[in-house]
């Protein structure tokens, strides 16, 4: 009986794994590192035409870490799932809106598959091996960060594995995961993020490098580093979702997210991808701010050809793609989709986006080449055109024209990665990005070119920038300026603290330099501090800062700290001491 049950479980799990493996990747949202963006106040990802909109809810000063909570929305709401040729359109989580917890600390996803192992040869009994892979941290801006982690729990051997990996996208995040499953994310500054798994609206906490914490408890209560309730989130679709906090006047202020019930039915007409709906869905219709002003959202009607009749209790049939956002100031951002199949490609990205703003109409037209290459043509309200070539989400060439491509070419910028020779429009980009080179060419200046060359470490932190002046037929061979950055070797996952910043001329002569020493001495102990935990080891607090005057002469200032990371004393270059009494340490 045990054997039969385990075998059945394995078969079911394998079927699930096959389905998960055939799913397509969602369109990249948010503002990923090294991306190219336009627009305003919405942010348009020029590689895939996703529109990212942020709405501030609460920004509050804290001790060590401020409390920041913004609502955010991404317009790329559809992606295909299933085996190629037999797929279905699937909406993203929360129809493009960040979840309650996600908007503060993010959340973590992973893939779970199982295989069988042999417990006993005779009589034969099977056990389960749980595999956890495809780990992704979705940050508070909606940007996914992937980690090459593969951990497992083997019932037959009793072995559970764990692992640590750094994201290759230049974000600086690293993750430790085990087969619990559980995972912890670390930022390059040493921030420890205990984000929820597979849930964008669950409890969690984030701890900065000095032990100051922001926590999210059940009931949607957010507590800041000062121990005060910074925000309380209640309700949800189809009822209003309320974000309440105490205003400076002492009164309760509320941001309210309202919903309208629609019949969601797609009609994209892409062969091999089945349409979604009709399904009754509550979509965000407005976000009302404490002063009564609001953001109002409208959605693209389902095309007439779909013959969609609104379901009972809904207002109309829509595709759930955003059609307009009316801003509190009175201006409106309008979106229309065309090209491709009813304005969409098979990966869920937009084909042609016509974006109308108070300053005129912008047209973003994408052409897909051999994957992952694509081209975006941007036409501004004055009918000037910019042509941008991409490899995936990374820009490789930009040509700006006065008028159309038949007009005057004003500038060409070739951007290459990891040492690829320019131009590199057909060169695939392999992560991590360790070098990014931009060559700027001015056609009307006898072909003169300048160059900016930046180098990065595995955490996406810049270690060097070389700036070359314009030269005929190519950049000057000797840089005008070279900036070199080294980083301190610290513990507790702190990797972003500079040890030295040096500026040199083309001859290699140092013109300016600042050096840093961290964590000298013992921080002063505080007591009764809310939302604070003890930290052992590195904190990344600069205790000595030296600025080069000339030769080997430096101006030096020193700093001491409370254990919260707040400055206790600061001694300037003239020896004058400024003291922050203990009574103030909790207020900063």
What pLDDT sits at residue 445?
64
| Euclidean distance between CA atoms 184 and 493, whole angstroms | 12
SS (H, E, C) 230-267: EEEEEECCCCCEEEEEECCCCCEEEEEEEEEEEEECCC
What is the structure's pLDDT at 6? 34
DSSP label of 346: T
Buried b (16+ CB within 10 A) or exposed e, 273-300: bebbbbeebbbbbebbbbeeebbbbbbb
Q: How far apart are CA 239 and CA 242, in angstroms?
A: 9
Predicted confidence (pLDDT) per residue in 399-415, tens digit: 999 998 888 999 999 99
In the predicted model, what is the mean pLDDT of residues 243-251?
95
Determine the pLDDT at residue 581. Answer: 65
Mean per-residue pLDDT for 425-443?
A: 95
Q: Which long-range contacts (CB under 8 A, 24 or more apart) does 318-321 make?
A: 318/262, 318/263, 318/264, 318/265, 318/283, 319/264, 319/265, 319/266, 319/267, 319/268, 320/77, 320/78, 320/91, 320/95, 320/262, 320/264, 320/266, 320/281, 320/283, 321/75, 321/77, 321/78
Residue 177 clears pLDDT 70, i.e. is over it = yes
- The answer to whether the CB of 302 falls within 8 A of the CB of 308 is yes
pTM, full prediction: 0.89
pLDDT band for position 24 (50/70/90)? Answer: low
Q: How far does the chain reach from its first CA to its final CA, in angstroms?
A: 63
Nearest to 214 by CA among 63, 53, 417: 63
pLDDT of residue 588: 44
Q: Which two tokens stand for residue 306?
A: 């779909």
pLDDT at 462 over 50: yes
Q: Tell the burial category of 227 from Cβ atoms under 10 Å away from its Cβ (0-12, 13-18, 19+).
A: middle
User: Of the ranges 29-43, 99-113, 512-526, 543-557, which one carries the lowest mean pLDDT score?
Assistant: 99-113
pLDDT for 538 equals 97
Predicted pLDDT of residue 18 = 32
DSSP β-bridge partners for residue 175: 165, 185
> What pLDDT was estimated at residue 404?
86
Q: How confident is the model at residue 100 (pLDDT cuts 50, 70, 90)?
A: low
Largest CA distance in the chain: 83
- The predicted-structure confidence for 336-381, as pLDDT tens digits, reads as follows 999 999 999 999 999 999 999 999 999 999 999 998 999 999 999 9
pLDDT at 530: 96
Whether the CB-CB separation of 347 and 359 falls below 8 Å is answered with: no
CA–CA separation, 95 and 281 (whole Å) = 10
Q: Which of the pair, 9 or 426, is modelled with greater confidence?
A: 426
**Contact predicate 136/142, CB 8 Å:** no
Q: How much is the pLDDT for 102?
A: 62
pLDDT in tens, 292-303: 999 999 999 999
Helix (H) / strand (E) element for 2: namely helix 2-21
Q: Evaluate if residue 506 carries a pLDDT over 50.
A: yes
Strands of the sheet with 67-74, listed across from one edge: 37-39, 43-45, 51-60, 67-74
Strand partners, 363: 354, 379
The 10 Å CB-count burial string (b at 16+, else e) for 111-125 is bbbbbbeebeeeeee
Residue 370 pairs in a beta bridge with none
Among 73-82, 119-128, 132-141, 523-532, the least confident range = 119-128
Q: How many CB atoms lie within 10 A of CB 39?
A: 17
Bridge partners of residue 154, in order along the sequence: 129, 159
Residue range 519-533, pLDDT digits in tens: 999 999 999 999 999
Q: Where are the beta strands (DSSP E) in 121-248?
A: 125-138, 144-147, 151-154, 159-160, 162-166, 174-178, 182-186, 192-194, 204-207, 213-217, 221-223, 229-235, 241-246
Q: Of 320, 304, 307, 309, whose CA–CA distance to 260 is shortest?
A: 320
Calculate mean pLDDT across residues 279-288.
97
pLDDT, position 9: 30
- Pair 538, 561: CB distance under 8 Å: no
Q: What is the mean pLDDT of the chain?
A: 91
**Cα–Cα distance between 1 and 3 in angstroms, integer?**
5
The answer, yes or no, to whether residue 319 has pLDDT greater than 90, is yes
């Amino acid at each position: 009986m045990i054997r039969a049950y385990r075998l059945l479980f394995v078969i079911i799990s394998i079927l699930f794994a096959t389905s998960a493996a055939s799913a397509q990747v969602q369109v990249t949202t948010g503002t990923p590192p090294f991306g190219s963006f336009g627009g305003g106040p919405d942010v348009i990802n020029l590689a895939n035409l996703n529109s990212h909109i942020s709405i501030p809810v609460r920004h509050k000063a804290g001790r060590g870490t401020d409390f920041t909570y913004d609502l955010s929305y991404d317009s790329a709401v559809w992606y295909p799932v299933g085996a190629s040729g037999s797929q279905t359109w699937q909406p993203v989580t929360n129809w493009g809106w960040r979840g309650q917890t996600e908007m503060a600390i993010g959340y973590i996803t992973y893939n779970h598959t199982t295989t069988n192992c042999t417990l006993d040869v005779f009589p034969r009994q099977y056990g389960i091996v749980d595999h956890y892979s495809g780990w992704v941290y979705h940050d508070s801006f909606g940007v996914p960060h992937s980690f090459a982690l593969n951990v497992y729990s083997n019932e037959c051997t009793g072995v559970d594995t764990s692992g640590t990996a750094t994201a290759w996208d230049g974000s600086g995040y690293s993750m430790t995961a085990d087969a619990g499953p559980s995972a912890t994310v670390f930022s390059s500054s040493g921030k420890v993020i205990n984000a929820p798994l597979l849930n964008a609206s669950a409890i969690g906490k984030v701890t900065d490098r000095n032990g100051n914490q922001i926590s999210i408890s059940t009931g949607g209560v957010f507590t800041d580093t000062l121990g005060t309730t910074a925000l309380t989130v209640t309700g949800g679709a189809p009822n209003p979702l309320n974000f309440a906090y105490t205003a400076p006047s002492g009164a309760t202020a509320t941001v309210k997210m309202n919903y309208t019930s629609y019949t969601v039915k797609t009609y994209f007409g892409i062969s091999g991808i089945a349409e979604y709906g009709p399904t009754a869905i509550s979509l965000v219709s407005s976000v009302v701010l404490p002063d009564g002003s609001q953001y109002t959202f409208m959605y693209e009607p389902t095309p007439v050809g779909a013959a969609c009749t609104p379901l009972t209790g809904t207002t109309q049939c829509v595709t759930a793609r955003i059609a307009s956002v009316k801003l509190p100031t009175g201006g409106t951002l309008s979106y229309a989709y065309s090209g491709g199949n009813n304005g969409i490609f098979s990966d869920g990205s937009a084909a042609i986006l016509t974006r109308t703003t108070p300053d005129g109409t912008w047209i973003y037209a994408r052409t897909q080449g051999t994957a992952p290459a694509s081209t975006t043509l941007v036409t501004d309200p004055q009918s000037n055109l910019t042509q941008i070539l991409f490899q995936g989400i990374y820009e490789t060439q930009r040509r700006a024209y006065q008028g159309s491509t038949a007009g005057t070419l004003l500038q060409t910028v070739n951007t290459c990665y990891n040492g690829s020779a320019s131009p590199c429009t057909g060169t695939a980009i392999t992560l991590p990005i360790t070098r990014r080179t931009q060559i700027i060419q001015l056609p009307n200046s006898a072909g003169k070119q300048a160059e900016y060359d930046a180098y990065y470490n595995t955490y996406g932190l810049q270690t060097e920038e070389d700036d070359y002046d314009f030269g005929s037929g190519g950049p000057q061979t000797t840089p005008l300026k070279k900036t070199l950055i080294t980083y301190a070797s610290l513990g507790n996952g702190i990797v972003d603290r500079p040890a030295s910043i040096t500026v040199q001329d083309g001859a290699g002569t140092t013109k300016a330099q600042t050096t840093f020493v961290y964590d000298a001495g013992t921080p002063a102990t505080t007591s009764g501090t809310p939302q604070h935990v003890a930290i052992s080891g590195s904190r990344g607090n600069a205790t000595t800062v030296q600025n080069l005057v000339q030769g080997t002469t430096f101006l030096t200032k020193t700093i001491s700290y409370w254990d919260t990371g707040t400055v206790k004393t600061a001694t300037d270059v003239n020896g004058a001491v400024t003291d922050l009494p203990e009574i103030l340490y909790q207020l900063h």
